Chains A and B, each alone.
Chain A
Amino acid sequence: PSELPVKDEL
């Protein structure tokens, strides 16, 4: 399963 990393960093 290739889940995209959550982009919550700046």
Chain B
Amino acid sequence: MNLFRLLGDLAHLASIFILLHKIQTTRSCRGISFKTQALYVLVFLTRYVDLFFHWVSLYNFVMKIFFIASSCYILYLMKYRFRPTHDPSLDTFKIEYLLGPCFVLALIFNYHFELAEVLWAFSIYLEAVAIFPQLFMLQRTGEAEAITTHYLAALGVYRALYIPNWIYRYFTEGVVDPIAVVAGIVQTGLYLDFFYVYFTKVLQGQKFELPA
């Protein structure tokens, strides 16, 4: 464990609490892509199958359980509790375009051709692009509540912090995980446009609005 990774994980945790807070306080999931949230459930379920056979640490175990449970809970809130506040006509990204290629990539690029490894690689690729439906929705509506942008920023920061973590690990432990690194860089890259607007507008106290 190093500081970058710890802060990254904390940013990830923060993003989930921000999202829960947004849904609970506004009693609405307006502006949140159900598809992206559903993809995260799939990401966690396929990545953490090793919960059953690979013990890492208590920290790792608790976090995995939390990510699975909280993502399922968010899906429940969106699907049942606050269903009327979700507008499927804005959430129109076709996730088949993400699932198919990620699955094919996982079949080709994995560390070992066995079920758990292919699922793991699939989860890495899918996580990298799971934010697409959300960003697409943002693009369509052209604006977002501040709290929704804080959620996205925390999620982006989480991924961005994993990059110095990998650099640090390369120099201190000599380990590189090329699949995670390449996917992680792609994933972070997807947030660049968002970050630009977030830092130049939201953090200056302005409304998050995309240029027309």
B22 on the A face (CB < 8 A)? no
Work out how many contacts link A and B, with CB atoms closer than 8 A. Answer: 29
The answer to whether B60 and A5 touch across the interface, beta carbons within 8 angstroms, is: no
Nearest Cβ in chain A — how far from B18, in angstroms?
18
B50 on the A face (CB < 8 A)? yes
Nearest Cβ in chain B — how far from A3, in angstroms?
9
Main secondary structure on B side of the interface with A: helix
The answer to whether B111 and A4 touch across the interface, beta carbons within 8 angstroms, is: yes
The answer to whether B112 and A10 touch across the interface, beta carbons within 8 angstroms, is: no
CB neighbors of A among B152-166 (8 A): 162, 165
Nearest Cβ in chain B — how far from A6, in angstroms?
7
Contact with A along B39-69 (1 / 0, CB 8 A): 0000000000010001011001001100100
The answer to whether B64 and A6 touch across the interface, beta carbons within 8 angstroms, is: no
Q: In whole angstroms, how far apart are the Cα atoms of A5 and B67 in the complex? A: 22
A residues with CB within 8 A of B: 2, 4-10
A–B Cβ pairs within 8 angstroms, 28 of them:
A2-B111, A4-B112, A4-B117, A5-B111, A5-B175, A5-B176, A5-B177, A5-B179, A5-B180, A6-B175, A7-B50, A7-B54, A7-B56, A7-B120, A8-B56, A8-B57, A8-B60, A9-B5, A9-B162, A9-B165, A9-B177, A9-B180, A10-B9, A10-B12, A10-B60, A10-B63, A10-B64, A10-B67
